[in-house]
Amino acid sequence: MRYITFALAKGRLAKKTLSLLEQIGITCEEMKDEKTRKLIFVNEELKLKFFLSKASDVPTYVEYGAADIGVVGKDTILEEGRNLYEVLDLGFGKCKMCVCGPKDAKKYLNGSQLIRVASKYPNIAKEYFYNKKLQTVEIVKLNGSVELAPIVGLSEVIVDIVETGSTLRENGLEVLEEICPLSARMVVNQVSQRMEQERISKIVIELKKLLDEKKQR
């Protein structure tokens, strides 16, 4: 029997995923050692492997078959646009992708003029403005604090993840439009889904049952 490999986004998502997996009997004790320098963790008994990666790389590992299963935020899935199956909403890491800016920037969103949109998520921004709003915009990719862009005049609005909105309010910005809800999702390699359907489906079904039970409590 071959190993099934999980790629998990480093940080909170990985910790919460491992906690869920433990509840359906999938454990990996090696991963609990925070001082370890190991890159790949193995559960020999269940023939499973795990590794942690930067969130934006998880869909790449899964698409190319280096991992059979991945857990990553919906924002990363949308931005990366990889060919994979999204099989389960894990229900944690909930937030929203939004268009934000100063209150008076709402007038720029009617599609009548060319504006600049700053974002860490240029593909999501482009898809939303070009294909959903049918508005031509100039998209500026930033890697740091995008909230700064409208304040210093780099852009009229931004596209970013909003959890509580406190950072926006502190900087005189607000949500102008909601693009989509986000949360942690489980994704599967397309070939693995066929070749290891029984084993992968068992994991997905057990997780779904667990999540449904939690909702009913």
| Residue pLDDT, tens place only, 159-168 | 999 999 899 9
Count: domains in the chain? 2
Q: Read off the CATH number of the domain in which 161 is found.
A: 3.40.190.10
Q: 53 with 99, same domain?
A: no
Name, in order, each residue with C-beta under 8 angstroms of 35's C-beta and a sequence gap of 6 or more. Answer: none
> Residues 6 or more apart from 169 whose CB is under 8 A from it?
none
pLDDT tens-digit map of 206-215:
999 999 988 8
User: What rounded mean pLDDT belongs to the chain?
Assistant: 94
pLDDT band, residue 117 (cuts 50/70/90): very high
Kindly report, residue by residue over 47-95, the tens digit of the pLDDT: 999 999 999 999 999 999 999 999 999 999 999 999 999 999 999 999 9
Residues 142 and 83 in one domain: no
pLDDT confidence band for 31 (50 / 70 / 90):
confident
**Is 172 found in the same domain as 65?**
no
Residues 148 and 195 in one domain: no
Q: Are residues 107 and 134 in the same domain?
A: yes
10 & 25 share domain: yes
Q: Which two tokens stand for residue 211?
A: 């999540």
pLDDT per residue as tens digits for the range 121-159: 999 999 999 999 999 999 999 999 999 999 999 999 999
Average pLDDT rounded to a whole number, residues 95-108: 96
- Please check the confidence at residue 41 and state whether its pLDDT lies above 80: yes
Mean pLDDT of 22-40: 85
Burial of 194 (0-12, 13-18, 19+ CB in 10 A): exposed
Is it the case that residue 185 has pLDDT exceeding 90?
A: yes
Give, as one character, the DSSP assignment of residue 66. Answer: S
Residue 42 near residue 48 (C-beta atoms within 8 A): yes
The verdict on 156 and 124 lying in the same domain is yes
Quote the domain boundaries for residue 76.
4-94+183-216
Residue 184's pLDDT is 96
Q: What pLDDT, on a 0 to 100 scale, did the predictor assign at position 1?
A: 83
